[in-house]
Structure formats: C-alpha cells, structure tokens
Chains A and B, each alone.
Chain A
C-alpha cells in the first residue's frame, strides 16, 4: 500500500472498498463519501424522520464467502468499525491521520489506526461523556473556560486540521507526509492555531488523551484491537489475581485477557 493509503482506515480494507465502489458508485477525489456510507447502513424501511418515511434504495453488501473472511480473520469481527458521531468522512480521515501521528505504527507494533483508536474516539464522542453529560455546564462561562462539549471541540479541531493543511499544502491533512503532519500538530499543541470558544492546545490535549485511551482501554470500547496495545506494553489486562506474582524478583509476562473473558465464564 502507498503511504497515503496506510493513513486511510477505509482504504486499509481493499476488499471492502471494492464492494463499496461496486454498490454505491459514488466517489469524490478517490474517497468514499457520506452518501455511500449512509446508504449502506440504512435498511430499506428505515424511518429517517418522524413525519416522512424515506425509502433508501440500496444494494446490501454481501460478503463473498472464502474471500474476505478467511484472509483477514481479525477484521471480520469489526462490524463496530463504523461511525456513530462523525458525519463527514473527511473529518474522520483527518482524525485518523492525526491519531496515527500521535501513536504511529513502528517496529514495536501497530499504531493508533490498526489499534482502532479512531473508531474508539468516534464512539466516545457519541457517548454521554462526549456530550459532557456528567459535567457542570451551567453558564456563565468565564474567559478561559470553554462552553463547548468534548465532541464539539474535537469536531472543530479536526476540521481545523484540514483547513490549516489546505492553506499550507493545498491538500487534506491525511494527504500530507508525516513530517508535515507533525509540524501542523505541533502548532496545535502550542496553542498557536486560532479556534472558536476553545484553544488548539485544549483540542490537542484531548486528542492525545483519546488516542492513548483508544490504544490501551479494554477492547470492549472498540480500540486496542486484539489487545495488541496491551501486548506491546506487556500489560496482562483484566486478570483476577496476582498473588503468585507479587513477590517475584523477576518480571512475569502474562498473556492478557479482556473483560469479555469475565462475562463469558
């Protein structure tokens, strides 16, 4: 795959992409966009609003037996890798690219994209936490305080990533090389990019935190795919007891287990 393709989570699944193209036929600038995504997910009788029932004609994607499922075994379980919060694919692509710069794939193991951090972040932003449901959001907000929710901060931030990238390099953020991406993210981190009702440093801090969460939280949240994040860190996950380890002089490496193991047994 080309460098550009690596940064694109959708393009990482060549078979799926072919199916998408075949089914929707709608592409802009090489990317599969919103209409196609939406079309794939809506069933024929999905009610879009209360008043009007819209029939969306779609061809349902049928996995080809023995092709995708056998070659990419760990991807077949990822039906949850779709968007709950973001509505524009270009926003999600900028997010994905930024997470990968923050936690890149290297000789030690997968980066943020392979670990599922971008989808994790999308789910978190769609959750009550993303909407600051448990926070005190009563006005007035003083200078220095942001009235925005976390999901609003990240959305504005990723759009700003694309905007700055367009201005500087005439392309979207995910189309830049790593060096260019790093330079832009540093500007965000230092707070020197203007944002509305928040700061670029707040956005960056949130993005960094979310990326690490997506790499290392229990896989139940959609990140840390196959516990690969934990494996890299030699973290054993949701073990029940370490009485046999606690006094050991040497480091004891234990294969991780996730919370799903607790509910199954």
Chain B
C-alpha cells in the first residue's frame, strides 16, 4: 500500500550539492521544497571526531553501503558484467550532504573549449581529427553564458584561489585569497616557472580565511589539519551542503528534509512528471510525493537509473548510436600520478588540505597545439598534497620488497620525503561506452542495477604518456632522488575512487542527441530537471563539482521561470549541425 502525501511545489531526489542548491534557490524564491535522500540525517555535530584514517579513508565511512545496491561493470559490449562488490571501491557520498561532505573541494572551472568541444576541434583541425567512435559534442551552452553561474557557485562555497593565467576572463576574482604555500609548493612553483609553465595555487573551497557567503552562511578558516578529502570538516571550513545551501534552505521555513527516503520511480503520465514514489529504507513502507516540479539531484548513476526504471526518455543503443539515456558515460579514473622521493629533504606531509597544491593548465583543452599529437584535449598538472596518513602512505624506491625488513626500513625513511605530481585528464566519450540496466543483477527491491560499459581509451593512453613525461621532467628539476611513475592499468577495474563520473543524461541543443537542455530540463518531460555531472557530454580535466554546481544554479533560474510562467520548454530545440 502506498501512502499519498500532499502535493508540493518541488521535490528533489537526493540532497547533496545539487539538491541543496535547488532547495536553497527555490525556497528563497518562495516555493515549497521537499528533499528526499536515501541516506541518514547528519549535520556538523557528526564531524567532531573524524580524524581517523582507518574509519574514513580506509573503511570509507562516508560512502554508501553496497549491501543492497551496487553497479556492475564490463569493459566491452561482448562481456558479461560483474558487480562491483566492495564498498571501498565506490566513493559515493552517504547521507544528507552526499559527496559534498567529503569532496577534496577543488574548484577549477571548465574551459571555453569544453563547452564547444566539437565545433572548436573541427574549426582548428578538421573533422578527421576526431576518431570515428569518439562521440564528443557541444554542450549547448558557451563559457560566457556559464560565467555568472560559476561566479555564483564560487561565492557560495567561498572558493579560495588566484587567477589561472591561462583563463580567458572571469567576471569577478575568487572571493577568498589562495591557501598558504608549503615548501613543496614553493619548490614546484620555482621549477615550473623555470621550465616556462604558468603555475598557480589550486583553487579550493577549503576556505583560506573566515568567510560569510552571500546567503549569510559562515565558513571558518581552514586549519590544514590533514584530514580532508575523505573526511568531514569539523571546522565547517570545507564548503559542504551541510554548512551552506542546506541551512540556507532551512532558514526559509519552506524546506522539508526527509532522510531514509529512497526514490524508486519518477511518476508521470507520459508528458509530465506527477511526483515520485519513494520507500522508507528501514520499514519498506512506500509513499507517493506529488509535485509540480521533479528534480533528480542524486549521483550520476542514480539519476540515469531512475530515468531508465521510470521509462523516461529514449534509452541509448550503443550499436546504432541512437537514443540518449545512458549515452556518453565518462569516468575520470586512471589518474596519471608520479611520485618523487627526496633522500635529502623532509616535508610536513601530515598537514595540508584536500585540494592543496599548485596547478599548471598549459596542457589543458586546446591551449596547446594538437596537430602532431595522437590525442584530443589534455590534462592539468597538479602538485598535490593530500594530507598523508600512515596506513596509506608507505612510499619506497622502485625495487623495494613490499613487506619485511627492507620494506619497513625504506617506508619509514621515505614517509615524509615524498612529493607527488598528479594529473586529472579529460575523459572523452565513445560510442561503445555507456550505462544501462544490468540484465542479471538486482537491488534489494528486485530492480536491475546500473551496468557500466567502459574502459580506458586510446586517447587516454596517449594523453597519460604525454603528461607523465612532464611530471618526470618537473620532479627531476625539483631534485627528486627517485621518480616513480604509476602507469595506467590495462583495464578499468571499477574502482570509482573520486566521485568523478559523468554523462548518461547529457545536455545539448538538440533533443536527438541530448537528454536535457542547457537548463538541465528534460526535452521529453518539461517539469523534470536532471542536475549534476550526469549532464556532462564529456569530462573535462578538472573536478566536476564546480561545473555541475554552476549548471545547477542555472537550472534553478529555469525552474523558477518555469513555475512562475506556468511551464513549457525553456530553450528552443535546434538541430546540432556539427553531428553527422
């Protein structure tokens, strides 16, 4: 039996960054919002005793349990997928705040090239430069249109940084100055400049000073305590939906938050969404929550899964390349990483914040010439501190035994003598890589799991090789005694360690090739919005949250307009002429 609840203006499915932004903006505009989240209630009081590497980093306390629901993975279309079974393999935030409670809080923007990737690639190199199976497409929006929403997101989270010298323009500077420079950052900066690169302090939403955002929420100054990404911040110094947008929504008195509420279907009449069907995860009791506007604001996989389970939109077919739901799934993993060990120098590696470091963007997007390169797009180079904790940090020179006396001696010697250079690389979409419903494995309710079909592409392999040479060049100049490049694995194994997934409900200008428009409004159902990185037609080089958050701010403008003006598509559909 399903209990039918009174209708509300807006219901959000998932209350992390995207659901929180929607709740804040829509309640401020006077609408009633109900936020449903399948996880537990949590708030800043839960963050007081979290300096615990085993519990948070190793055992993944903040991740969703996979007991009742996971994902399956295969690398190619002809394989049978296996479930990803271990909780520690999938970093997807649990509870109110979602992944926004334990992100590293890096806040780069995407580049103008990203939003018009197909057009700009063809303009510069001709269509032949794009491999046949690579399905890059324009986003249906330009960087200039994105800038105000980036600005809004950066102000909300208190982004702390200095301008990227390669960036075209920003309407405003970062709201806070950059984080402090460590000795390692200074060494990297000096060498990078000598080599002709343009390093800058990585922008981060672990705020560099006490800051009150435009909604009146205060973030405290970062303490560089070392327990950051993977942990919750007890200072409220890391921007988190729980210290920003959720309290903003709650102050209006128009936001009702329900935890342990797992949405299992979007209800609709074929043309409009009428609400959602959800389940109390503890009792199994089912509820119908009717709403004028339904917003999917959960993680990429769940957004897409709900569309597929609810028969909304045309599922993507990897054989014909038609349909949209599940299309252009991308995964940001296989981060090229190179470690330098320094025999003569020790660093305070126990300190720092999640996104602490310096970045070089000279090899990003189309900022360098690809005419003689066998890949498109690029990677950022980051000198990165993570806050090294002792279980995970056992660096040893190449050739060292991984256990026993030699291991102990070397790992103790080098535990504060390692610095790492790391790259996030663009993940470009392919015709064969997508997500759909698994034919074999089911969740606790008997609903099929999401199946991922994905592997590292030739583009990524070439990119990794190219960028890792730069890592080695820099570490050599920095005086590393041993340099250890980590190669890209042979195949993607399903270790989703960074909450960096995208696609499946992608945005665009053309309903034939995209699921949502530039307001993240479903082409096929105008009162349904799908927010988050599920809208990314490809993955740019940097972390997704800033771009996903900016797009969601834009979406909220569309939602408000939609509710005030009584419906309709917010963008006129047009044919994407760059696609054959």
Contacts and interface: CB of A to CB of B under 8 A. Distances in A.
Interface stretch (A68-76, A137-145, A163-171, A191-199): A137-145
Interface string B189-228: 0000000000000000000000000000000010111110
A249 B221 CA distance: 22
Nearest to A99: B403
Nearest to A105: B408
Interface residues of B, number: 54
Centre residue among A136, A208, A232, A262 by max chain B CB count within 10 A: A136
A184 to B, nearest CB: 13
B537 to A, nearest CB: 30
A199 B54 CA distance: 25
Given A129-B59, A134-B87, A135-B87, A234 B49 contact: no
B52 A213 contact: no
Nearest to B356: A246
Given A133-B67, A242-B348, A229 B54 contact: no
A201 B227 CA distance: 31
Contact of A106 (B68, B227, B408, B442): B408
A247 interface: yes
Contact of A247 (B66, B181, B412): B181
A238 B51 contact: yes
A101 B406 CA distance: 11
A213 B54 contact: yes
B570 interface: no
Contact of B83 (A106, A138, A185, A246): A138
Contacts of B66: 134-136
Interface in A227-250: 229-230, 232-243, 245-250
Contacts of A252: 348
A35 B284 CA distance: 45
Given A246-B180, A247-B182, A104 B225 contact: no
A82 interface: no
Contacts of B225: 239-242
A108 B413 CA distance: 10
A216 B51 CA distance: 13
Contact of B54 (A138, A217, A235, A263): A217
A138 B52 contact: no
B521 interface: no
A218 B54 contact: yes
Interface string B114-154: 00000000000000000000000000000000000000000
B223 A230 contact: no
B234 to A, nearest CB: 8
B405 interface: yes
A54 interface: no
A218 B390 CA distance: 10
A236 B352 contact: no
Contacts of A236: 350
Nearest to A252: B348
Contacts of A142: 80, 82
B174 interface: no
A48 interface: no
A134 B65 contact: yes
A242 B183 contact: no
A263 B351 contact: no
B391 A216 contact: yes
Contact of B348 (A101, A111, A217, A246): A246
A212 to B, nearest CB: 6
Interface string B89-100: 000000000000
A79 to B, nearest CB: 21
B404 interface: yes
B350 A235 contact: yes
A54 B52 CA distance: 41
A85 interface: no
Contacts of B408: 103-104, 106, 108, 111
A182 interface: yes
Contacts of A137: 67, 85
A249 B347 CA distance: 8
B237 to A, nearest CB: 10
Q: Which of the listed residues B183, B389, B391 has the most CB atoms from chain A within 10 Å of its own CB? A: B391
A218 B52 contact: yes
A259 interface: yes
Contacts of A250: 346
A110 to B, nearest CB: 11
B180 A108 contact: no
From A103, A106, A233, A246, residue with most partner B Cβ within 10 Å: A246
Contacts of B416: 233-234, 251
A11 interface: no
Contacts of A241: 223-225
A217 B391 contact: yes
Contact of A240 (B54, B82, B223, B391): B223
B402 interface: yes
B48, B408, B442 pick with most chain A CB within 10 angstroms: B408
A103 B84 contact: no
B85 A135 contact: yes
A252 B182 CA distance: 12
A99 B54 CA distance: 18
B485 to A, nearest CB: 22
A246 B67 CA distance: 40
A245 B351 contact: yes
B415 to A, nearest CB: 5
Give 6 nearest A-B pairs by CB, closest first.
Answer: A251-B346, A242-B351, A238-B51, A217-B54, A241-B223, A216-B390
26 contacts: A101-B403, A101-B404, A104-B408, A106-B409, A111-B408, A132-B85, A135-B66, A138-B441, A142-B82, A145-B82, A182-B404, A208-B402, A211-B403, A212-B391, A216-B391, A221-B54, A232-B412, A235-B350, A238-B227, A241-B224, A242-B224, A242-B352, A245-B351, A248-B183, A251-B416, A259-B51
Given A245-B351, A259-B49, 12 more contacts: A133-B65, A135-B87, A136-B83, A208-B403, A213-B391, A218-B54, A221-B54, A240-B225, A243-B221, A246-B180, A251-B416, A252-B348
Interface of B: 48-49, 51-54, 58-59, 65-70, 80, 82-87, 180-183, 221, 223-227, 346-348, 350-352, 389-391, 394, 402-405, 407-409, 412, 415-416, 440-442
